[in-house]
Amino acid sequence: MTSRVDLEAVEKANTAFYEAMERGDFEALSDLWLTGDEGDGVSCVHPGWPVLTGRGEVLRSYALIMANTEYIQFFLTDLKIAVNGDTALVTCTENILSGAPSEEAGELGPLVGQLVVASNLFRRTPSGWQLWSHHASPVLAERAEDDEEAVEGNE
């Protein structure tokens, strides 16, 4: 049976991951990923990217994203947490609002919304729950035209 304490600790670690991204806090984000020999086994899949493996490669990807994202905010929905021993899985929908750097100094670029489903895998360590893997995939929204074509095709 999963303890309430474990569930809350995993949720706190998951929240810290997204808050570090929102703040652009690379150091805090780095602290959340497994280190040492375990860090060699981390993996990450950003939407549209190939699989990244190893702590260095994964953290470089976040440094690149942070350097090229002026603003990002995550609204998490459909959050589910499962803990099994020293491993925890968090699944959620990331409702993302982001803005790229503007061409005009001091202004925010255009904001873009994106819907992504994510799985975050954590391992319990002496330092607390740390990320082992993050996998995010875009949700392809159906267009109204597609729905109309499907209905017409069934007539």
Distance from C-alpha of 74 to C-alpha of 94, rounded to nearest angstrom = 6
Count of domains forming the chain? 1
Residue 143 lies in a domain: no
Residue 152 lies in a domain: no
Over the stretch 88-116, which tens digit does the pLDDT of each residue have? 999 999 999 998 666 776 666 678 888 99
Q: Is the pLDDT of residue 152 over 60?
A: no
| Averaged pLDDT for residues 115-132 | 97
Smallest CA-to-CA distance from 65 within 108, 124, 20 is with 20
Mean pLDDT of the residues in the chain:
89
Between 140 and 126, whose confidence is greater?
A: 126
Residue 128 lies in a domain: yes
Stated pTM of the model: 0.84
Residue 144 lies in a domain: no
Question: What's the domain range around 35?
Answer: 4-100+109-138
C-alpha distances out from residue 61 to 20, 43, 125, Å: 14, 11, 24
Residue 114 lies in a domain: yes
Helices (H), the chain: 4-23, 26-31, 36-39, 55-67, 144-153
Q: What is the pLDDT of residue 66?
A: 93
Longest pairwise C-alpha distance within the chain: 62
Residue 26 lies in a domain: yes
Residue 154 lies in a domain: no
CATH of the domain at 70: 3.10.450.50
